[in-house]
Each structure stands twice: as C-alpha cells, then as structure tokens.
Structure 1
Amino acid sequence: MKRLPPLPALHTFLITAQCCNFTRAAEQLFITQGAVSRQIAGLEAHLGYELFIRQARGLDLTAQGKEWLPRVQQVFDLIAEGVEQIGEPRETLQLKAPTCVMRWLLPRLLQWQKERPDVPVALTTTVKHGVDFHREPFDAAVVYGAAPDSALASSLLFDEQLTPVCSPQMALQSPADLQQHLLLHPTRDERDWNAWLQAANLQLSNARAQHFETLDLAMSTASQGMGVAIGDWSLIGDDLSAGRLVMPFELKVRTGLAYYLVCPEKATPSAPLRELMGWLVEQARSR
C-alpha cells in the first residue's frame, strides 16, 4: 500500500483550497507563507501531481485538487466529530414506569443497552400509574390509564387486554373449571377478574382467592401451578412465548385503558431520547 500523505500537509491543503491564497492560508494556520508553499509542494511531490494552478491573481484547484477537496474535508469533519463526542460524559436518560409494566419493559431495556451502550437509561419504578414532569426529574415515562391530556406528547404502546393465565400443567377445559381453582388477583380491588368474568357471562360462587400487590408476584405464583392469574396479554407475552404460562381460554377483554409512552409536550426531546422512544414504540407494535 502506498504511504499515506502526512496529516499536517493535508490540513494545509484543506485551508489553502478553501481560501485559494497562500497568504490568507498562512494567516489562518499561524505559519509563514513560505511554510504553506513548501507543505503544498511536498504534498504534490508525494502524490505525483499538482493540486493547484498558480496564477498571478491567486490559486485555482486542478482537476485532481477538486477531487481531493471533499475527501479531505470529510476526514477532518470525522476528526472534529470524534473530538466532540469521544470522552464526553454520556447522557443518562431518566425513565419512569409503573411496576405492572416491568415484565414487558425490563427485557426490552436490557436489549436496548446491548444495542446502544452509548445511550444509558436509568429506570425508576413506582406503583403509581402517572407522572408529573413539573415535579419529577424524568425525561419520559410509561403511564397506564386513559389517553393522556394534551400537556403530554404521547405514543400508544398497547391497549390493555385481560386474559386468565396458568401453568401449562393445569388442565382447564372451560371457564366453569375456574370454580375449582384458586384465583390470583394482581390487585386488591379484584377489578380485573370481575371484568373478565362479566364478559364471559360467568358467576363463581365462593371462589377461592389470593391477592397480590403486583402483577409480577401473581404471574410468578401462577407459573408454579398454584392458581390461575389474570393479566394483560401484552405484558405477559414473553411468558406465553417461553411456555412459562398458557392461556386456557381465547377470550381477551379490552378494558378501554392502555399503556402510553409520554414526555413533556413543550420540551424538545434530545436525539437519544427520540431514538429510545421510537424504538420502544416499534417493540410494542411488533409483539
């Protein structure tokens, strides 16, 4: 491979090509006009052809010089970009999310960090389903409920669709079989099971029940064959795909609520935040 031209000479060529004058190039480079002339002559000798046409009124680029100029400009642009970006502290994105969405969100954030280690994310979990960007220092949040108000820029992740799930070892032939099993409630208010049973036109008398504080606890108990839980089909999709849980019945009930990815409407999201939010929305739509 032919020896590469020296970097200082290429920089001198770039500055000289931009002003087409040895004197002005020397002023910008803080060297003498003679030094500029010698560096250009040395570069031309190295390449084997002239880069400038020397005229009394100044300089013009030769055909070869015109071809060299955008290439050299690109090299120095890349160097300048590296100086700005490499070694700079990385912006850690602050994300808030309710615990109920962790079964879906956490595996995807771990995948994001593998693919984009240059954009770290700090995740804060909460039992609350909303966010107040005026009082909370988050860049974005996952919220659960009705459609967010206009003060938030929001993207729909998925609608809530409730369905019973259980261990693959449990034999359930029809919804009426639920009477024989322990119902695992992911919340204290039992609203999820009540909504599904109503949609299934089913009334259970004296059904046994166990209440949990989080969806994760209910799903973990169900996977061990200790009862039948109910959860959002979108949130437990990974468990279903892995065979840890199964859907004994086809009925999925839409509640009218949903999960949204939000950020302040008036704020201009940074490029890393826009990329993360777009990636999460794409993940939700491709499930």
Structure 2
Amino acid sequence: MKRLPPLPALHTFLVTAQCCNFTRAAEQLHITQGAVSRQIAGLEDHLGYELFIRLARGLELTAEGREWLPKIQQVFDLIGDSVEQIGAKRETLQLKAPSCVMRWLLPRLMQWQRERPDAPVKLTASLQHGVDFQREQFDAAVIYGTAPHDLPAALHMFDEQLTPVCSPMLLKGAPGLNAPADLQQHLLLHPTHDDQDWALWLKAADLRLSNIGSGQHFETLDQAMSMASHGTGVAIGDWSLIGDDLNAGRLVTPFDLKVKTGLGYYVVAPDRPEPSAKLRELMVWLVEQAHTR
C-alpha cells in the first residue's frame, strides 16, 4: 500500500487550490509563502505528478489537481463534521503544543483516543514554544525549553538530543557517509532559519564544514525530516522525537554522537484550578510514552 500524503500538506493543497495563489494561501494558513510552495512541491513529489501550473499571474490547477480538489474537500468536510458531532458529546481536553513536537505527539494522541474515547483531546499546534495560561485557555500544554520553574504542575518528558539523520538510501549511494567528515559532500538540512543546531553538533564532533552555510532551511523540524526521508540530504534532528521514523526504517542515524542542548520537553498545566482526573491521567500517560523508546 502506497504511503499516504501528510495531512498538513493536503490541507495546504486545499487552501491553495481554492485561491490559486501562494501568497493568499500563506495568509490564510499563517505561514510563509515559501512554506506553502515547499509543501505543495513535496506533495507533488509524493504523488508523482503536478497539481498546479505555475503562471506569471498566479496558479492554475492541472487536470489531476481539478480531480483531487472535490475529493480532498470531502475528506476535510468529513473530518470537520466528525469533530463537531463526537466532540460535542463529551468534555474535550484542550492541549497546546509546539509544531516541533508534532512528529512525536500526533501518533501518541491517536493511540490515546483509541484507548480512552471517554477523554477526547483537542490539539492546537503553535510555532510558540511556551504557553501563557493567564491569557490562553488551555487545560495543558507541551512546551519546549528549559525547566519551567514557574509552573508547579510540570512533568519532564525528554531532553533534546541532536544528531544527524538521513534516508537509508543515502548510506548506500555515493558519496559515502561513513564518517562525520563525509558530511562535507552532502546537502545539510536545517529545521530552523539559522545554523545553530548543526553548529552545536559539529562543535561536539570537533569538525568544521565549509558547506554549513549553504544548506537548505525549513520552517519546522517535520519539514526537514520529511525531506531527509526522501534522500534529499542530511538533516540535524532531535533523536528523542524520531523514534517512530527510525523503527519504521524511514530514517537512520549514521553516527552515534548525540548532543544534549540543555533544552527539553515538558507537559504542564496551570496550578489553579487543579487538573481534573482525566487531565492528570493524560499528562502521566504522555510521560510514560516519552520514556518508552
């Protein structure tokens, strides 16, 4: 069975197809125009055919794109209807999390929903790494950063550990990837707009590369990991977040060195009011999942 396209990319296609303009789609999705363009290109690469014709005045759907549009619209309408119908029947836990943890968190929450249909969770993804419970109406949040001493109801999940990751096919081809110095011959993929993560790992490896500044940058860790899984280059990733990809063989870690950044992931809740029994169970369950790798 062919691997299904990622849901965020399908949503980006739907919005872009409705306005046929990358700029307007970016405004509606609250991401950059470049991020929209890369997600569409990645989806087209996954499918093996183009969905849009790029024109000077905008975009035009290809025949395949026109055929896809009503089908994808129907899928999202069905998802929306299900969320409203089922969610209205029971109290829903409101959870916020940064986009960088989604690759790990989404499969776990799907498992939680299968095991605990009586405790549904509404997840809100954000580019922000923290939460302000005084202004944001969430029951709990997964946050990324240093230990949150100002939040008593905080549980440590795991620490960030940086290491290069790539597709298994990259290990079999040329140029090789037998030693860290071989990274000089590969495209480096960055999960952020800066080179900080790669620079930190290379310093720990006592290695200098001239190609660190010429790599490709992405908006999120998920985008960088997706491109790495296609054999595009070598990404710097968080080992703690990619266990599913490693177990499935989508990604491999060519080197043993893992570098802790001093940052980590925590599941937190406001201390007032006291977390409900279901919320406490969810928080403890997430910590248990984090320790099962």
Q: TM-score, normalized by length of structure 1?
A: 0.68
Is 1:182 matched with 2:187?
yes
Is 1:139 matched with 2:142?
no
Conserved in 2, the CA contact under 8 Å of 1:185 and 1:211?
Answer: yes
Q: Once the 2 structures are TM-superposed, how far is the Cα of residue 225 of structure 1 from its aligned partner?
A: 0.4
> 1:221 maps to what in 2?
227
Distance 2:191 2:227 in 1: 11
Change (3 A) 1:206 1:278: closer
Q: How does 1:86-125 map to 2 (within 5 A)?
A: 89-125=89-125
Matched position secondary structure for 2:247: helix
Matched position secondary structure for 2:255: coil
User: Is the deviation greater in 200-209 or in 219-228?
Assistant: 200-209
Q: How does 1:186-205 map to 2 (within 5 A)?
A: 186-205=191-210
Conserved in 2, the CA contact under 8 Å of 1:184 and 1:218?
Answer: yes
Q: Once the 2 structures are TM-superposed, how far is the Cα of residue 267 of structure 1 from its aligned partner?
A: 2.4
Distance 1:219 1:267 in 2: 38
Q: Once the 2 structures are TM-superposed, how far is the Cα of residue 189 of structure 1 from its aligned partner?
A: 1.5
Q: Once the 2 structures are TM-superposed, how far is the Cα of residue 151 of structure 1 from its aligned partner?
A: 3.3
Q: Once the 2 structures are TM-superposed, how far is the Cα of residue 89 of structure 1 from its aligned partner?
A: 4.2
> 1:7 maps to what in 2?
none
Distance 1:109 1:151 in 2: 23
Is 1:247 matched with 2:247?
no
Q: Note the aligned Cα RMSD (angstroms).
A: 1.2
Distance 1:214 1:190 in 2: 13
Q: TM-score, normalized by length of structure 2?
A: 0.67
Conserved in 2, the CA contact under 8 Å of 1:163 and 1:233?
Answer: yes
Matched position secondary structure for 1:220: helix
Q: How does 1:244-283 map to 2 (within 5 A)?
A: 244-283=250-289
Distance 2:108 2:203 in 1: 33
Distance 1:273 1:245 in 2: 33
Q: How does 1:157-172 map to 2 (within 5 A)?
A: 157-171=157-171, 172=177
**Residue type of the alignment partner of 1:231:** G
Change (3 A) 1:259 1:161: same
Conserved in 2, the CA contact under 8 Å of 1:101 and 1:235?
Answer: yes
Identity, % of aligned pairs?
71
Q: Which runs of 5+ in 1 are unaligned?
A: 1-87
> 1:78 maps to what in 2?
none
1:24-49 alpha-carbon deviations (Å, 9 max, x no partner): xxxxxxxxxxxxxxxxxxxxxxxxxx
Q: How does 1:35-54 map to 2 (within 5 A)?
A: none
Conserved in 2, the CA contact under 8 Å of 1:165 and 1:245?
Answer: yes
Number of residue pairs the alignment of both structures matches: 200
Conserved in 2, the CA contact under 8 Å of 1:162 and 1:192?
Answer: yes
Conserved in 2, the CA contact under 8 Å of 1:150 and 1:265?
Answer: no
Matched position secondary structure for 2:147: coil
Q: Rg: which structure is higher?
A: 1
> 1:210 maps to what in 2?
216
Distance 2:211 2:139 in 1: 47
